[in-house]
Amino acid sequence: MPSSPESPPEEDQIFDALASQAIETPSWGYGNSGTRFKTFAAPGAARTIWEKIDDAAEVHRLTGIAPSIALHIPWDKVSDYSELAQYAQDKGIELGAINPNVFQKDEYRLGSIASPDPNVRAQATDHLLECVEIMKATGSRDLSLWFADGTNYAGQDSFRRRKRAVREALQTVYNSLPSDGRMLLEYKFFEPAFYYTDLFDWGIALNHCQALGPQAEVLVDLGHHAQSTNIEAIVAMLLDEGKLGGFHFNARRYADDDLIVGSTNPYELFCIYTELVSAELDADAAVAATADNVAYMIDQSHNIEPKLEAMVQSVLNCQTALAKALLVDRDALKSAQEDGDVLLAHRILNRAFEADVEPIIAQFRSKFDLPSDPISELRNGQYLKDVIAERGTAEAGGGYPTD
């Protein structure tokens, strides 16, 4: 890294870092699904997992940094996962994280793996184990877990019993992981449970992951935090503990939103990427290895904006944040921090955030034969016209899709 803010890194270094960036897009972001209230149908929205793969491949073609698609089970269930994986490969992408669904069935009204009913807990655990088998069939590295489990009223259930039930189920699933697989454990401080959530913050997620073993790591969803939460500090702590496994990128305005990442608080996204880049350069090899192994995933269900455009914009916003983070003069920043020069340290960081990185990104796109303006290319290109003509406007339903 350069010794002064006016001397940016060599272009080849920036290009290499931008080229190695990989943002996984979610299957559920391409269809008429998601939101808690009403889903507005979008012309050309994907109707099947096969069409979702087509769309994800187009996003990758436009951006060059979205090489995989996450699956949600049972929404994306098929009879032959090797065929699905081959289809994705033929389209130029891979199948990514497997996301189980243990929040949609009536049986899960009082929880899934934390339910007071042992039969319900067994049913939920069996579904998680089914998803591990799907991981093996698709070659996926990550099992991405989010639970709606919690309570609404004081006295409704025992906190300790629920915690032990969660641990027991997670341990069973952890023991079934392939040798190269990971369990990524997500947390959320509320909703749909409003009194208590079983995985209520990064501390309890970290606690479970440390108890389970090295293949269990924490997943940070940017929307799953209270207002003013310092997410970049959480990222830094998890990196230092060797337990940051991945992200679900979106943006929160109030609590949990499915807005385009970086749309409401681009400075926060920049600060998060600054911590990640800093960790990749850390002298501690374990910290650097953790940072190098983080999974970057979008988790959004676009409702009023065009789905493909929104997905491309999310990926591009991550690219911009990384480009800015690469421009931070870390030598100068470290010196100012050690000198206790509060304002200078802040100014050095902000200089990178305020930098115009469009010329750098434009050179990157030119070097790798990518469209100079991916959004305009999408809007004016043939792909969008073709899928709208072929698919029409599929029926939309409120809330998440049913089985």
Domain harbouring 129, CATH code: 3.20.20.150
Note whether residue 197 is domain-resident. Answer: yes
Provide mean pLDDT across the span 200-228.
97
Percent of the chain whose pLDDT exceeds 90: 88
Provide mean pLDDT across the span 248-256.
89
Alpha-helical segments (H) within 1-78? 11-20, 49-63
Note whether residue 272 is domain-resident. Answer: yes
- Whole-model pTM: value is 0.94
How far, in whole angstroms, is CA 311 from its chain's centroid?
12
Note whether residue 403 is domain-resident. Answer: no
Q: Are 300 and 26 in contact (CB under 8 A)?
A: yes
Note whether residue 84 is domain-resident. Answer: yes
What own/partner pairs with CB < 8 Å and gap ≥ 24 does 224-228 have? 224/186, 224/187, 224/188, 224/189, 224/248, 224/252, 224/256, 225/189, 225/252, 226/189, 226/255, 227/254, 227/255
Q: How many residues does the chain have?
A: 403
Range of the domain at 246: 11-391
Note whether residue 287 is domain-resident. Answer: yes
165-208: per-residue pLDDT in tens?
999 999 999 999 999 999 999 999 999 999 999 999 999 999 99
pLDDT band of 255, cuts 50, 70, 90:
confident
Note whether residue 173 is domain-resident. Answer: yes
Note whether residue 4 is domain-resident. Answer: no
Helix (H) or strand (E) segment spanning residue 158: none
Cα maximum dimension of the chain: 63
What is the total count of domains within the chain?
A: 1
Note whether residue 237 is domain-resident. Answer: yes
